Structure 1
Amino acid sequence: MNLEEAMQDRRSIRGFLDKPVPRPLLEEIIALANRAPSSMNTQPWHLHVLTGAPLEAVRNGNSERMLAGVPPVREISAHAAYTGPHRERQIEIAVQLFEAMGIERHDKEMRQDWVMRGFRQFDAPVSIVVCLDKALEQDTIGHFDLGAVTYGLTLAAWSKGLGCVINGQGIMQSPVVREHAGIPDDQIIMTCVAMGWPDEGFAANSVVSRRRPVDNVTRFVGFDD
């Protein structure tokens, strides 16, 4: 698979086979993602790769706290409510996913189950917790750098036959993640990436989010017509 194929074909995977991912393969993926660019070559990221009992403890802790009504506890600022076209695109992908899964608008039980899957890291066999050096906590450039390495993880995984979804729900109870992943105090939990072998029979895995055309997102300045 070449780079263009990986970028065109990649999609978010939310259903995984119950099949472990070998550590050497994960190391290959991380070595590729680690080539991501960063401002002044600071490379401010740290990746904590969870599987087995520690990941199960995170799943259980996240689920228990959310079901008990514990408010989300993140180490980064939560975004404001989406409005305008951002809200429209958020709704569009939700509709695509719910239609694929056969979840009706009025079916509160199935909608709740879908939400809880996110807190369980979509039952993936691997979760990579992406952290930032705390010294750069207020440095938005560092946040940008972590976006680069996170996208690198998803592309590298796809090129090796694995699927991913970048999963902000997975760190909404960050104290649980910090405890069971053993994350040092000098790092900030930013997000996580659920990763594993795609379950081709899982309906939501067929969903491909639509993208705006180039002329909708781009202005060319100084070019001849």
Structure 2
Amino acid sequence: MSVLSILESRYSVRGFKKDPVDAELIKSIFSQAQRSASNCNVQPWQSYVVSGETRDKVSEALVKAVMSGNPPNPKFDWVTRYQDEHRQRQFGSANALYSALGIAREDKMARNIAMLRNWQFFDAPHAVFFVMEKYMGIMGAVDIGIYAQTLSLLLEENGIQSCMQGALGQFPAPVEELLGIPESQGILFGMSFGYEDKEHPANAARTDRADLSDAVKFFT
């Protein structure tokens, strides 16, 4: 399987089977991801992978935090008010998901329930929280983005699907407590992974990509 074939076929999965991935295979994939490119070879990523009972406890704590009514309290100021075409793409992504789920625009309750599935890891048996030292700022975040993309491609190569989730960085406190994440570090975002439930309607959602001319400028 080539990188191109993975990029052409991969999509964010939001409905997983409960079947766990073999623990040794997970370790092997994360070991391979250590080869990711890194600015000055700093390698700032710290990955906290949850499975089994720990996964269930973390999910339960996250859902409780979300349902408490308190606002998100991320460790990094990554919440952006998208503008112009970026806002349009955000709306397009949401509409693709809700259309696949059969949720009407005015059905706020159903939309909130669908959103809550982020913190249930979309039923995936595994999730990873991407963590870095809080002092590192944007350069550390760039490296972690590269690492996460590498990891997602390696997972896909091994027949394992995933979904990147900014939502997993919104309520860090219960995760930090349960996993013993040091005060000097912060959760940037996370990713659920496992085997796709092909019968789940959310997995019919698709998004498009901008034309090359909208994203790349060539100079000679």
* TM-score scaled by length of structure 1: 0.93
Q: Is the 8 A contact 2:36 2:150 kept in 1?
A: yes
Q: Helix, strand or coil: the match of 1:43? A: coil
Note the residue ranges of structure 2 that are not aligned, 5 or more in a row: none
What does residue 169 of structure 2 align with?
171
Letter in 1 for 2:46: H
**Equivalent in the alignment of 2:197:** 199
**What is the alpha-carbon distance in structure 1 between the residues aligned to residue 80 and residue 3 of structure 2?**
34
Q: Determine if the alignment matches structure 1 residue 141 to structure 2 residue 139.
A: yes
| Cα separation, 1, equivalents of 2:193 and 2:140 | 23
Shift of the alpha carbon at 1:104? Answer: 1.1
2:182 is aligned to 184
Distance 1:40 1:170 in 2: 28
Separation in 1 of the partners of 2:70 and 2:54? 21
Gaps of 5+ in 1: none
Q: What is the CA–CA distance in structure 1 between the aligned matches of 2:12 and 2:110, rounded to whole Å?
A: 20
Q: How big is each residue's C-alpha offset from its partner over 1:44-73, in whole Å with a ceiling of 9 and x where there is no partner?
A: 111111012222122111111221201111
Matches within 5 A, 1:1-225: 1-136=1-136, 138=137, 140-222=138-220
TM-superposed CA distance for 1:135, in Å, is 4.5
Contact preservation (8 Å) 2:65, 2:174: no
Q: Give the conservation status (yes or no) of the 8 Å contact 1:120–1:170.
A: no
Query: How many residues matched?
Result: 220
2:44–2:133 Cα contact (<8 Å) kept: yes
Q: Is the 8 A contact 2:119 2:168 kept in 1?
A: yes
SS of 2:77's partner is: coil
Q: Distance in 1 between matches of 2:111 and 2:86?
A: 21
2:193 alignment partner, SS class: strand
Displacement after TM superposition at 1:207 (Å): 2.1
Instruction: Indicate the larger mover: 7-16 or 205-214.
Output: 205-214
- Deviation at residue 170 of structure 1 after TM alignment: 1.9
Which contiguous aligned blocks of 4+ residues in structure 1 show a shift greater than 3 angstroms?
A: none
Checking the alignment, whether the CA contact within 8 Å between 2:128 and 2:192 is kept in structure 1 is: yes
Q: Which amino acid aligns with 2:190?
A: C
Identity between Structure 1 and Structure 2 (%): 29
